[in-house]
């Protein structure tokens, strides 16, 4: 296949009036489509269920974005059986043909980009720039994994001895379960599913119950791109009702999951148990969150450091597993950096991204749901006992939207609850370190290990962090969110996951079985 070299999808220039006009138009068009129902998709057929799940706009919880079917174990069984039966023909489909379907899906997403952005705004409460970045990421996954499949389709070189031919190649695994999160419902669902599909597997896609409409749109795009009936099955439902069934079933060959540590550990435990008729060890590909830290030493560019702390802490209201939730500041620059961070965070605009007063200049939208609102509010209460609140106030009535203002606690001890547990909201703990050794020790004293950052002009400090900072993605002198597919492969250490680097050269083989075949002549 002749393809142009891979490059990342460009972001919108939101200072351009034409881009703003297109976005307003998309919000209007999608706004007229709110409230519709979306059934399950199993074997290419729309399957109605006895109950539905209502998806709400987190900026305006009284507004129903849409309704989706609510799968039970009966529908989960149908989806797994359908995916298992479809595996035979799909796994024999030429890798080039599978790659073309992914490339076509990328083209469809480009053409429907502003529509996808609008769904993200309504269902996820995302500011425009955040929605734009993750739809671009979804397109990048499709483009990148298509090219990766073409790179790997004939295997990889190994040595042979005289008189023999040795080949090392990959083949598809089987039917897999894709369990996607709500914070990146287009990008992560597309990325996990496309990697599995282009590798020749079939999938059951379970989106989050908080963003199932976006999942339905992604499923429609895969269909339109030419994924055959039964190869991709769309199964919205509550994890408590179908999650264990999908993970535990003997037909499930692998599980690709992004979400909380607790759920990820449960999936890993269930998948490790052999059940009747199971003839393999299930593979779990998991990304499970983080408690990410940025270290600022006494040689750093403090203005840039403060700007990137705020960007990393409050982008999408801190609802990113890569978000900076700990700022570890050298004692000599502590007060100065803290003041700069407070002032920059205070200037952020909070609002409903789709509202009349919204627009491209909204920086902080709502958190995703009432349970998440209550969780973050609880941590804000805890923080009052563990630090000095130097920015923020108690959240208001969730009936008016799940808005939590940017919050900063200063003087937080490294072992405090708000400095150790993943909050997944716009709450930053600021910690004082006496020197760089102390800062690195504080950063590493946590069970997670997803992202981390160091701001420094000291080469010795940077080289130490390169090898000693216990995180899967470490960034120097920049923000710690917004990993680009193919440029910054993403995945964590420790209890942040299985170190599966999404958007990297090792990711696709996780969805395939390696074979060695030797022939003597």
Integer angstrom CA distances of residue 431 from 75, 334, 416: 49, 9, 10
Catalytic entry in 123, 130, 287, 386? 287
- Backbone φ/ψ region at 35: left (φ over 0), alpha (ψ -120 to 50), beta: left
| E strands in 58-146 | 60-69
Instruction: Return d(Cα 384, Cα 160) in angstroms, integer.
Output: 66
Instruction: Return d(Cα 32, Cα 285) in angstroms, integer.
Output: 38
Q: Is 321 a catalytic residue?
A: yes
DSSP characters for 348-408? Answer: PPB--TTSTT-STT--B---S-HHHHHHHHHHHHHHHHHSEEEE------GGG------EE
Catalytic entry in 75, 321, 386, 422? 321
67: three-class secondary structure by DSSP = strand
The tokens describing 210, both together, are 């908080």
54: three-class secondary structure by DSSP = strand
Inter-axis angle of helices 95-111 and 212-225, nearest 10: 130
> Would strands 451-455 and 292-296 be described as parallel, antiparallel, or unpaired?
parallel
Q: Is 220 a catalytic residue?
A: no
SS3 content of the chain, % helix, strand, coil (to 5): 40, 20, 35
Instruction: Return d(Cα 453, Cα 478) in angstroms, integer.
Output: 7
Q: Is the dihedral of CA 318, 321, 326, 329 positive or negative?
A: negative
> Would strands 283-287 and 202-206 be described as parallel, antiparallel, or unpaired?
unpaired
Instruction: Return d(Cα 249, Cα 81) in angstroms, integer.
Output: 10
CA atoms within 13 A on the CB side of 462: 11
Whole-angstrom distance between the N-terminal and C-terminal Cα of the chain?
32
8 Å CB contact between 367 and 425: yes
> Would strands 407-410 and 388-391 be described as parallel, antiparallel, or unpaired?
antiparallel
8 Å CB contact between 290 and 261: no
The tokens describing 272, both together, are 């490790």
Query: In this structure, what DSSP letter does residue 229 have?
Result: B
The tokens describing 465, both together, are 């962090």
Integer angstrom CA distances of residue 197 from 43, 249, 336, 504, 519: 15, 20, 50, 16, 30
Query: In this structure, what DSSP letter does residue 43 have?
Result: T
Active site residues: 287, 321
């Amino acid at each position: 296949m002749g393809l142009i070299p891979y490059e990342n999808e460009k972001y919108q220039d939101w200072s351009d009036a034409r881009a703003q006009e297109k976005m307003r138009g998309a919000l209007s068009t999608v706004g007229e489509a709110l409230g519709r129902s979306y059934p399950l998709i199993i074997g290419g057929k729309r399957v109605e269920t006895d109950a539905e799940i209502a998806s709400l706009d987190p900026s305006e919880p009284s507004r129903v974005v849409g309704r989706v079917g609510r799968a039970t174990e009966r529908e989960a069984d149908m989806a797994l059986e359908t995916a298992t039966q479809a595996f035979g023909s799909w796994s024999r489909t030429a890798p080039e043909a599978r790659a073309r379907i992914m490339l076509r899906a990328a083209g469809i997403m480009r053409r429907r980009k502003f529509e996808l952005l609008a769904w993200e705004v309504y269902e996820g409460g995302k500011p425009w720039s955040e929605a734009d970045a993750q739809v671009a990421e979804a397109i990048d996954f499709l483009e990148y994994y298509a090219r990766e499949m073409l790179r790997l389709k004939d295997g990889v070189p190994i040595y042979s001895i005289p008189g023999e031919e040795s080949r090392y190649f990959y083949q598809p695994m089987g039917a897999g379960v894709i369990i996607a999160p709500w914070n990146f419902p287009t990008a992560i669902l597309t990325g996990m599913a496309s990697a599995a599909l282009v590798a020749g597997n079939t999938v059951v896609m379970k989106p989050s119950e908080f963003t199932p409409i976006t999942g339905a749109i992604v499923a429609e795009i895969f269909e339109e791109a030419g994924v055959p009936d039964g190869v991709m099955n769309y199964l919205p439902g509550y994890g408590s009702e179908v999650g264990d069934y999908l993970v535990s079933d003997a037909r499930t060959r692998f599980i690709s999951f992004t979400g909380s540590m607790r759920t990820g550990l449960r999936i890993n435990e269930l998948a490790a148990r052999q059940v009747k008729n199971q003839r393999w060890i299930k593979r779990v590909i998991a990304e499970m969150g983080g408690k990410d830290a940025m270290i600022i030493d006494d040689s750093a560019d403090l203005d840039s450091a403060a700007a990137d702390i705020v960007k990393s802490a409050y982008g999408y209201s801190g609802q990113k597993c890569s978000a900076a939730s700990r700022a570890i500041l050298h004692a000599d620059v502590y007060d100065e950096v803290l003041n700069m961070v407070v002032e920059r965070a205070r200037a952020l605009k909070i609002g409903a991204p789709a509202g009349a007063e919204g627009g491209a200049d909204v920086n902080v939208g709502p958190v995703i749901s009432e349970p998440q609102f209550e969780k973050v509010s609880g941590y804000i209460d805890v923080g009052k006992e563990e630090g000095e609140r130097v920015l923020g106030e108690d959240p208001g009535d969730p009936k008016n939207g799940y808005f939590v203002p940017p919050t900063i606690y200063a003087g937080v001890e490294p072992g405090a609850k708000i400095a150790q547990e993943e909050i997944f909201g716009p709450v930053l703990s600021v910690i004082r370190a006496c020197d760089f050794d102390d800062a690195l020790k504080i950063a590493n004293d946590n069970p997670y290990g997803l992202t981390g950052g160091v701001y420094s002009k000291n080469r010795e400090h940077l080289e130490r962090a390169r090898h000693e900072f216990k995180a899967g993605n470490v960034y120097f002198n920049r923000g710690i969110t917004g990993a680009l597919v193919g440029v910054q492969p993403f995945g964590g250490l420790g209890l942040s996951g299985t170190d599966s680097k999404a958007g990297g050269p090792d990711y696709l083989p996780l969805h395939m079985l390696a074979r060695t075949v030797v022939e003597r002549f």
